[in-house]
Structure 1
Amino acid sequence: MLRMLFAIILCTGPVFGLFNNPTVSAAQTTQAVHIEVNGEPQFWNNAPLILKGTTFVPLRDVVQSVKGDLKWDARTKTAVITVGGDKLVHQAGSKSIKVNQVSLASPVNSRTINGTLMIPVRTLANALKADIQVQRTPSSQMNVGITTDQVSVLNPEVASVDTYLREINYPGMALIARDGEVLLKQGYGLADEQTMNRPDQKTRIASLSKSFTAASILSLAEAGKLDVQDPISTYISGIPKGNQITLHMLLSQTSGLPSAFGRGEGNTLEQTVEEIRHKTLKFEPGSAYLYSNSGYVLLAYVVEQVSGMSYADYVQQTILEPLGMKDSGEASRKVHTNSGFVKQGKGWTPAPYYVSQSGSGTIYSTVDDLLKWDRALYTDQILNQETIETMYEPYSNKNYGYAWILKENGTKRTVFHNGSGGGFSTAFSRNLSDDITIILLGNHAGMDMTTLLSDIETRTAKALQL
């Protein structure tokens, strides 16, 4: 794992030898520079400098400090850098760095000064999936601290899976764990146009949210506050055939309610429930399977009616806080997550804000937090094991349980779910027999996550000789 800390302290006093390039003037630069890497002073051949408010660092010196490899093509004026498993390509004077197969935008061009290629420090930090802090001391010195990726994990046993994800240009975060031990935790592709996905990135999890809704209903059942065989009419009036549709049918996607509902931003849960009251059933309740987001919206409303709390607060207090899932919750514009991307022409563009509704797809999380959720489902911390087993039972010919889908291979059992919406494509697989967890939190729309998940399961099993 790559670990690096830069401390760049820009002090008073002139920098000499930087002004042979007529495009750079003394007024555009700062002063003498002290550099540290991992707390140790560095003696770079070329000092960082500031031009028009942007801090630049010498690319070759940085690469050498992090034990990377740099190859320079003088004809095209292109640098090719290999750091860890990433390949960075930058053409001198341009505004982007290509990281593997995606282009990371920079607000300003790189500069060549006295034959040295200088890169904007924030752009280079983003390309390295790094943190950056900039501070001014009381004496007007500027401290710039960069901490590169300290959270990625790649066990050699599953290196082939990482290679595969890179080959297919998978965008998002991925985690593989065995018995709760993380073997792979990586970020791939863009988080937004100027930032790379990091493995600790908060992101929307789309319909993986449904497992939290199901668990909330079941926790209320364990507390004796409801029964999954209760008709929805006990809690919400006006639902078509509400006296026949049970909570069990909503949980197992056998209610007959259609899936779609209005997703206008600002729509309240009550307004969405009112819309569902006017829906027409697709079949008699309990007679077939039909995936329905509307059904899980009703379940969220039941949580609110029975608990006296908002859905978000109930999930937070009942599940997320007890499990230490500090980077998870119900999404809003106030919470910064990575961007979802949608196809536009031959490229990808950031998607509009993902509007969903409580219960169906509103949760944001991280791969680390979802692993905590995975581990909790092997214990009695949130629900007892007898209750948890009811989540995995196949209640239709589609093998859908309560927000988990059962897949059996001989004597081995796996439960999984996938999700999509607003430029996000997600999947969560839990091999209950071998205790293998696979979490894929992608941020491109339209990905076939069921097939991808199956591919990753097969490659992981082969790599681990299961």
Structure 2
Amino acid sequence: MHQSAYLSLFRILLAFILVAGPVLGQFSTSISAAQNTQAVLIEVNGEPQSWKNIPQIYKGTTYVPLRDVVQSVKGSLKWNNRTKTATITVGRDTLVHQAGSDSIKVNHVRLGAGVNSRTVRGTLMVPVRPIANALKADIKVGRTASGQLSVNIQTDKVSLLDSEVTSVDAYLREIQFPGMALIARDGEVLLRQGYGLADEKTLNRPDQKTRIASLSKSFTAASILSLAEEGKLNVQDPISKYISGIPKGDEMTLHMLLSQTSGLPSAFGRGEGTSLEETVEEIRHKTLKFEPGTAYLYSNSGYVLLAYVIEQVSGMSYADYVKQTILQPLGMKNSGEASRQVKTISGFVAEGNQWVPAPYYVSQSGSGTIYSTVDDMLKWDRALYTDQILSQETIEQMYEPYSDKNYGYAWILKENGDNRTVFHNGSGGGFATAFSRNLSNDVTIILLGNHAGMDMTSLMDEVEARTAQALQLQ
């Protein structure tokens, strides 16, 4: 064969390798990133796209061209040739990635990618999973029924930010709030955002499940009141009617447990796998801090006893009763009692100068075991304006202040003139939460944080004030 014919054949074979190699997972560092993309189906939110460079597979990891991806999600990219760093802006988020590194910084939060990005013939190729996470997008690389390589990108459809409350979002970003936040007025969502990390490699997105800590208590209180409306108990019943051996159980009423005026100390053992009955037995041996009904003392133990009462009266587990009576009727499909089998975001605790994942959060039924989402908690908020779960007359019992701390039944009343707000906060296991419901102007604020030690009462006060200012509320 003539030398020119050999050369032509070589060129044909090389062209085939360049196009087919990545599809077959045989990408090498000598392959040009600038390739014919006709053989690849690329869609963003169902709309066909044209990329200059196609995805490639190397050692089991799928890589996508960074600039093409950013353009497809309507972002902008600035390249610093000296530092080999790309700065990407998408919406209100800023992403920074240095070529060849194994991380992406998103709004000052470092996301570990696990593998390094690669530069191929001048094109920066990044691993698909980390960049999808950083962009809050879903990117799927696969093949069509005909075997054609496909890339499907779905941009963030969960986050929401109304222009009226951008100042509140800016504040939460400024203080680097970690977790999920929702603000609604008259039930209409104005802000639904995730901030910080859900785990060491994943950003918080506002549809994720998380532990709500002591916000769980509102479900316990509502369950007791539901049984009361059915005539199965009375909040003035002594705890001795349902549980024997509690100190001064003949004088301690369900009302006192609900209103945190029982005198029981708060703490109890939190060994994983400890049954509700075992925790109740522990509480039987506690020493009261004061005579029942004479003062206020926040007590997790009291709400554990209430959970046990729910089980004794209903004949169901606490988890099943809450699910059947509240969660299912309201369509709260992403809520329930937590277990290791339910995937929630991680809580974080401080270790030196770093935040590290906290051990699994162990609580006990009634006090802090519920997981939920901001959207499900908004459903709970809306239900409390109706008679769907409890009558309005009964719900008002939850808001009444029964001590000088203005604690009702799992809600704290805050009044400022004619402005009436009910609130609760929670903490534990690397989580810090707060739920505020302004009953006068129907503004709901839900903050489900996942860093330990945050002062959620002060934070909620600030967010309430900024929201009122943004919405021009009196």
TM-score, normalising length from structure 2?
0.92
Taking the aligned partners of 1:132 and 1:57, their CA distance within structure 2 comes to 10
Taking the aligned partners of 1:342 and 1:51, their CA distance within structure 2 comes to 36
Q: 1:125 to 1:54 in 2, by over 3 A?
A: same
8 Å CA contact retained: 2:43, 2:151? no
Q: Does 1:24 align with 2:21?
A: no
Taking the aligned partners of 2:47 and 2:94, their CA distance within structure 1 comes to 26
Q: 1:253 to 1:69 in 2, by over 3 A?
A: same
1:190-246 Cα shifts (integer Å, max 9, x gaps): 101111100111100000000000000000000000000000000001111111110
Letter in 2 for 1:105: G
8 Å CA contact retained: 1:209, 1:363? yes
Taking the aligned partners of 1:87 and 1:177, their CA distance within structure 2 comes to 26
Taking the aligned partners of 2:338 and 2:313, their CA distance within structure 1 comes to 22
Kindly state the Cα deviation for residue 350 of structure 1 after the two structures are TM-superposed: 0.5
Kindly state the Cα deviation for residue 33 of structure 1 after the two structures are TM-superposed: 2.8
Find 1:187's aligned residue among 178, 182, 194: 194
Q: Does 1:85 align with 2:92?
A: yes
Q: Does 1:15 align with 2:22?
A: no
Q: Which residue of 2 aligns with 1:320?
A: 327
8 Å CA contact retained: 1:296, 1:359? yes
Taking the aligned partners of 1:23 and 1:462, their CA distance within structure 2 comes to 57
Q: Does 1:367 align with 2:370?
A: no
Taking the aligned partners of 1:445 and 1:398, their CA distance within structure 2 comes to 24
Taking the aligned partners of 2:259 and 2:273, their CA distance within structure 1 comes to 28
Letter in 2 for 1:108: V
Q: Which residue of 2 aligns with 1:3?
A: none
8 Å CA contact retained: 1:256, 1:283? yes
Taking the aligned partners of 1:24 and 1:437, their CA distance within structure 2 comes to 53
Q: 1:446 to 1:205 in 2, by over 3 A?
A: same
**Structure 2 spans left out of the alignment, 5+ residues:** 1-14
Letter in 1 for 2:354: G
Kindly state the Cα deviation for residue 64 of structure 1 after the two structures are TM-superposed: 1.1
Q: Which residue of 2 aligns with 1:226?
A: 233
Q: 1:140 to 1:263 in 2, by over 3 A?
A: farther
8 Å CA contact retained: 2:40, 2:151? no
8 Å CA contact retained: 1:18, 1:113? no
Taking the aligned partners of 1:381 and 1:286, their CA distance within structure 2 comes to 31
Find 1:379's aligned residue among 369, 386, 395: 386
Q: Does 1:51 align with 2:58?
A: yes
Q: Which residue of 1 aligns with 2:342?
A: 335
Letter in 1 for 2:400: E
Find 1:239's aligned residue among 246, 262, 286: 246
Instruction: Give the count of matched residue pairs.
Output: 452
Taking the aligned partners of 2:323 and 2:73, their CA distance within structure 1 comes to 40
8 Å CA contact retained: 1:327, 1:366? yes
Letter in 2 for 1:292: S
% of aligned pairs identical? 79
Q: Which residue of 2 aligns with 1:391?
A: 398
Give me the CA root mean square deviation. 2.1
8 Å CA contact retained: 2:42, 2:151? no
Taking the aligned partners of 1:288 and 1:136, their CA distance within structure 2 comes to 67
Q: Which residue of 1 aligns with 2:165?
A: 158
SS of the residue aligned with 2:330?
Answer: coil
Q: Which residue of 2 aligns with 1:73?
A: 80
1:314-333 Cα shifts (integer Å, max 9, x gaps): 00000000000000000001
Taking the aligned partners of 2:47 and 2:419, their CA distance within structure 1 comes to 52
- 1:111-126 matches, within 5 Å, as 111-126=118-133
Kindly state the Cα deviation for residue 67 of structure 1 after the two structures are TM-superposed: 1.3
SS of the residue aligned with 1:79?
Answer: strand
Kindly state the Cα deviation for residue 280 of structure 1 after the two structures are TM-superposed: 0.5
Taking the aligned partners of 1:212 and 1:244, their CA distance within structure 2 comes to 25
Kindly state the Cα deviation for residue 13 of structure 1 after the two structures are TM-superposed: 5.7
TM-score, normalising length from structure 1?
0.94
Q: 1:135 to 1:46 in 2, by over 3 A?
A: closer
8 Å CA contact retained: 2:42, 2:152? no
Q: Which residue of 1 aligns with 2:218?
A: 211
Kindly state the Cα deviation for residue 141 of structure 1 after the two structures are TM-superposed: 5.5
Q: Which residue of 2 aligns with 1:272?
A: 279
Letter in 1 for 2:356: T
**Structure 1 spans left out of the alignment, 5+ residues:** 1-11
Larger radius of gyration: 2
